[in-house]
Structure formats: structure tokens, C-alpha cells
Amino acid sequence: MTVVLFAEPIQRRYEAPRWSCAYFFAAFSAILAVVLPFFLSYPSSWEGGSIWLKHDKYREHPEVKYLFKFVIQLQLMDKSGLPQDTFYSTMNAANTIRNDRLRMAAVKSREVDDDLDGRIERFYLTALIPLESDEAVYGLQVSRSFLRRSRHLEYSVDELKSFMSVISRFSSPQRLLHSIAIDCKTV
């Protein structure tokens, strides 16, 4: 068993003049070691957020596709004042169910990309439904199907239904509608 009686540490020192490149590199490294972790830990601080974010908002323009499936129902009144309804759909199963009220329509639809970014902003649907000379339209119901794909919500895909209903407030119905033009903006 041995005992240490005396120990002499060896020390090496490297010195450089005050305004040398080595001095500036050592000072810059020391400042960077203190300041850089602060900015790395708060990356959202430039956007007004913080590291302890509990709620956040985001805006997204989802990809929306029109599925070309819709149902149109017109509320009519004939010359004797009795209410009637007509029906048209692009789905054959719905047409066979309501075959007694079915009227064929001339349908045009188009998708519009206003800012040419590859995402559709508006959908136009025009349906020309023939009416008898003694019929007047006092109400309209339209239901359309869309497919929405969102990137932010883990690429979720949803089928959406859009519903619109218009009823005349006039006491005596008039020939209000000969064609239906619907503008749907996706926001």
C-alpha cells in the first residue's frame, strides 16, 4: 500500500494577443454557445408563439373535388293551385325510387380555378328542367356531393354534402326559375 506525499500538476497555457483571429474565434464561440440554444428552443417566437403552445390555429385551402352527384327537387304549383314536386338526380338508384316524379334535365357543371394554383375555388351547376306552361316554381332544393382532402389533418378524406333550399315568399307563385345556377365557393 502506497501513500502520495507530494503531487505537482502539469499545466499548459496557450495565449494569443487580444486582437488576433484566435481571440475573436474563442469569443465568438463563447457567445454562440450561450445565445444559439435560446433561439433554437424558441423557433416559433418569430411568429408570435412560444415553446409552451397549448392552442394553435391554422389556415388551409383543402383539395375539393366535385363528385358530379346531385339531387334537385322543385316545388311547383299548377294552374289549379295544387302543389306538386318534380325530381332529378344523377344517381340512378334515386331516380328509380322517385320514378313517378322524375323529369329529365339538361345539366352543365364546371369547376373554376381562379388563381391557377391547382385547387378548385368555385363550382358552377346549371340544370335546365322543362316546365309545363301552367306550372310555376315556388321552391327549390339542391343537394350536391364533394370530396374534401386535407393535408394538415393526416391526409383525411371526407365526403361532404352541400344542401341549398330556396322558397318563394310571394303569396302567388310566379315563374321564378327556368334554370338553376349555383355558385359554391370553398373557403
Q: Note whether residue 144 is domain-resident.
A: yes
**Residue 186 and residue 121 in contact, taking contact as beta carbons nearer than 8 Å:** yes
Please give the C-alpha separations between residue 133 and each of 79, 88, 106, 130, 167, in angstroms, as whole numbers: 9, 19, 18, 10, 20
d(CA 176, CA 74): 11
Strand pairing of 136-150 and 83-89? unpaired
Q: Is the dihedral of CA 95, 100, 104, 109 positive or negative?
A: negative
Contacts (Cβ under 8 Å, ≥6 apart) of 154: none
Q: Note whether residue 86 is domain-resident.
A: yes
Report pLDDT digits (tens) over 134-164. Answer: 888 888 888 888 888 877 666 667 777 777 7
Ranking 9-18, 35-44, 72-81, 170-179 by mean pLDDT, the lowest is 170-179
φ/ψ of residue 181, rounded to 5: -125, 120
Report pLDDT digits (tens) over 112-130. Answer: 888 888 888 888 888 888 8
Rounded mean pLDDT, 18-44: 84
Q: Note whether residue 96 is domain-resident.
A: yes
- Residue 45, pLDDT > 80, answer no
Rounded mean pLDDT, 27-46: 79
Q: Note whether residue 150 is domain-resident.
A: yes
Q: Note whether residue 15 is domain-resident.
A: no
Report pLDDT digits (tens) over 90-106. Answer: 888 888 888 888 888 88
Q: Note whether residue 34 is domain-resident.
A: no
Tell me what percent of the residues of the chain surpass a pLDDT of 70: 78
pLDDT of residue 50: 59
> Which residue's entry shows cell 368555385?
122
Please give the C-alpha separations between residue 25 and each of 38, 40, 70, 88, in angstroms, as whole numbers: 20, 21, 70, 79
d(CA 74, CA 139): 6
Q: Note whether residue 101 is domain-resident.
A: yes
- Residue 181, pLDDT > 70, answer no
**Residue 142 and residue 164 in contact, taking contact as beta carbons nearer than 8 Å:** yes
Q: Note whether residue 98 is domain-resident.
A: yes
- Residue 180, pLDDT > 60, answer no
Q: In one letter, which amino acid is 149?
A: R
User: Is the whole-model pTM more than 0.85?
Assistant: no
Residues spanned by the domain of 89: 63-185
pLDDT of residue 168: 65
Residue 126 bridge partners (DSSP): 108, 181
The tally of domains found in the chain comes to 1
